[in-house]
Amino acid sequence: AQTVTQSQPEMSVQEAETVTLSCTYDTSESDYYLFWYKQPPSRQMILVIRQEAYKQQNATENRFSVNFQKAAKSFSLKISDSQLGDAAMYFCAYRGYGNKLVFGTGTILRVKS
Amino acid sequence: KAGVTQTPRYLIKTRGQQVTLSCSPISGHRSVSWYQQTPGQGLQFLFEYFSETQRNKGNFPGRFSGRQFSNSRSEMNVSTLELGDSALYLCASSLVQPSTDTQYFGPGTRLTVL
């Protein structure tokens, strides 16, 4: 079975600075997708960024980028120029052949002004 | 385009009762997945429906069931409620199938079992 591990229960960052959230996963599948979702206190889960495993290029969405290391099974999220609105729970998620999302335990990101 | 909607947003039930939750996917989306979110177990996959057929099921007891209608709206039902069923239930829709398309989540239904 696939597993996703987020080893940082909580992280803090100063406004305008950069923070990196870690995620590792375990799978024997060769084709899969990886995601970062954000869940603010309002509870609406929002897609932040998506990475296809067959793509070597790291995905980027404005201030959000990933460092995808397929051999190491690592998928970290970098948030640049952090803003107060970035404060939320961040979930790393895996989707393989089973068509279901497997989530990590989440990382609470606090942004200090 | 309207997002995924879930009704009701909040629900309080007592042990032994049953409950039905509803999810309306984004217009044009045909796949609906359900997840349970609890502080102890995190986010866990319940099941996925596509074209009115259940295609995948997670490791939940038979008390948890669902269905999908021809307009892609989905309902999930929990019978004989237990205290441990208290959770946020999230619905997610995708265009054709979750294997290639991104899943978009609704706001969730907060179920409290007393």
Closest CA to A4 of A113, A95, A110: A95
Residue of B54 and A98 predicted with greater confidence: B54
Per residue in A18-64, pLDDT (tens digit) is 999 999 999 998 889 999 999 998 778 999 999 999 988 999 999 99
Whole-angstrom Cα distance, residue B15 to residue A76?
41
Which burial class, exposed, middle or buried, applies to A72 when counting CB atoms under 10 A from its CB (0-12, 13-18, 19+)? exposed
Query: Residue B28: phi, psi to the nearest 5?
Result: 95, -15
Per residue in B1-39, pLDDT (tens digit) is 689 999 999 999 999 999 999 999 999 999 999 999 999
Contact A97 B107 (CB under 8 A): no
Contact A100, B45 (CB under 8 A): yes
Per residue in A82-99, pLDDT (tens digit) is 999 999 999 999 998 767
- A34: β partners: A51, A94
DSSP A58: P
Mean pLDDT, all residues of chain B: 93
Which member of A91, A97, A100 has the closest CB to residue B45?
A100
CB < 8 Å from A in window 65-104 of B: 88, 90, 92, 97-99, 102-104
Mutation for B interface: A38, A43, A48, A61, most B CBs within 10 A? A43
Range list of H helices, A1-113: none
Per residue in B99-112, pLDDT (tens digit) is 667 889 999 999 99
Whole-angstrom Cα distance, residue B76 to residue B68?
9
Residue of B100 and A73 predicted with greater confidence: A73
Is the pLDDT confidence value at B86 over 90? yes
Is the pLDDT confidence value at B98 over 60? no
Q: In A, which residues are within 8 Å of B90 by CB distance? A: 45
B60 vs A: CB within 8 A: no
Half-sphere exposure of A29 (CA within 13 A, CB side): 19
